[in-house]
Structure 1
Amino acid sequence: MSAYYRQLASRTGKVKAVTTSARKLALLFYNTLRYGSAAQDPGVDYYEARYRQGLVGNLHRRAKSLGFELATLQPLNQRVL
């Protein structure tokens, strides 16, 4: 939940992020009481992976609009020298 808040706060501002996070928490609580299902937080890694995918997609789209093509490189610690 904290990763969700931090990501949202960076995009929309802290006030809106608090309101949105509180609503999400209230819905999770309500659904747990009403339907008896346990809520599962996807965790920080899930939100970080989604953020990274969105960022990479935006970079590819922007490069294409400028007439460039991006190539994927291996991370530095996995490169063969």
Structure 2
Amino acid sequence: MNATASGAVERVFAQFLDLERLTRAARTTEQLAYSLVNDSQSLFGYRHAALVIAGKVRSVTGVSVIEPNAPFVAFVEHAVGQLLKLDL
């Protein structure tokens, strides 16, 4: 492994450890959900994410309070419902 690759691996691992620290610091399930969706964004490089538990959106990137009737929330919950109906 060269120095550039080694540095990149170390940065990713440091980000992962930071994410672990932040998630362990969460005191409520709401804080944990927010941390998982928002604090992992730099590690995984996504633009938008939603944490879905039992078919319901629990957290969305950049949103502190979930509005159950928001278009994105409705879309994600509908899409998840359709996926769960498939026999994969």
Identify whether the pair has TM-score above 0.5, normalized to the shorter chain.
no
Greater fraction of residues in strand: 2
Higher relative contact order (CA 8 A, sep 6+): 1
Question: Which of 1 and 2 has greater Rg?
Answer: 1
What is the TM-score of this pair, normalised by structure 2? 0.33
Question: 1 or 2, which has the higher helix percentage?
Answer: 1
